[in-house]
């Protein structure tokens, strides 16, 4: 069995986006596969008693400055979304729905489109019509998407994914699991890489 890093994410987390920009190259360097684990961050917070940095003014100010440091270090595109925080329920249902459909290429195209729409293009992903435009631009059928995320099996899958993440110790995003070891935060990617190198 090949080496694997599990990536627990929600599109509403700017730090999950930062991790997303770095993880594929990291995994490739270590000959590892990425196991994508979409979850609903709000559900994780509720289950664990954690809170978003956006809810704590001093932490929010610090976090925005720290994100800019990492953006410069990584040399990536990033713009703070003026609509943040965004309810990502529909977006995360879309992610698990596409996973259930089993089309890995479509899933990755969707993940890229949503992360970029949220953290590069400053799109208002709280609005269904705007989500539809992002989907169309990425080659998806917005009406089929709406049917998919309304499916009870998709709703149940997202709930299960979120509960499973919490059961495994996840309390925020991004989180990573290598073997039995949990790492939290995109600023722990060096530890993730060390764990993969030793696996």
pLDDT at position 53, please?
A: 87
- Residues (pLDDT < 50) of the chain are 1
CATH topology (fold) of 3-198: Glutaredoxin (3.40.30)
Going by C-alpha positions, the residue among 17, 21, 40 that lies closest to residue 115 is: 17
Going 40 to 44 to 74 to 99, the CA torsion angle's sign is negative
Where exactly are the structural domains of the chain?
Answer: 3-198
DSSP per position, 19-71 = HHHHHHHHHHHTTEEEEEEE--HHHHHHHHT---GGGSHHHHHHHHHHHHHHH
For residue range 133-173, list pLDDT tens digits in order.
999 999 999 999 999 999 999 999 999 999 999 999 999 99
Q: Six-digit token pair at 127?
A: 């609005």
pLDDT at position 12, please?
A: 97
Strand partners, 191: none
Q: Are 95 and 101 in contact (CB under 8 A)?
A: no
* Residue count (the chain): 199
pLDDT at position 1, please?
A: 46
User: Where on the phi/psi map is residue 148: left (φ > 0), alpha (ψ -120 to 50), or beta?
Assistant: alpha
């Amino acid at each position: 069995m090949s080496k694997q890093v599990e990536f627990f994410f929600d599109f509403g987390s700017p730090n999950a986006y930062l991790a997303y920009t770095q993880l594929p190259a990291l995994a490739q360097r270590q000959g590892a596969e990425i196991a994508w684990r979409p979850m609903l961050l709000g559900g994780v917070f509720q289950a664990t008693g954690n809170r978003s940095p956006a809810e704590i003014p001093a932490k929010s100010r610090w976090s925005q400055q720290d994100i800019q440091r990492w953006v410069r270090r990584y040399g990536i595109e990033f713009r703070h979304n003026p609509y943040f925080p965004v309810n990502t329920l529909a977006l995360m249902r879309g992610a698990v729905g596409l996973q259930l459909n089993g089309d890995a290429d479509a899933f990755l195209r969707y993940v890229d489109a949503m992360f970029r729409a949220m953290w590069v293009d400053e799109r208002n992903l709280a609005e269904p019509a705007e989500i539809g435009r992002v989907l169309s631009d990425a080659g998806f059928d917005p009406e089929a998407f709406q049917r998919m995320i309304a499916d009870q099996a998709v709703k149940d899958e997202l709930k299960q994914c979120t509960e499973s993440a919490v059961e495994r110790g996840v309390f925020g995003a991004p989180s990573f699991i290598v073997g039995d070891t949990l790492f939290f935060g995109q600023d722990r990617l060096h530890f993730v890489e060390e764990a993969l190198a030793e696996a």
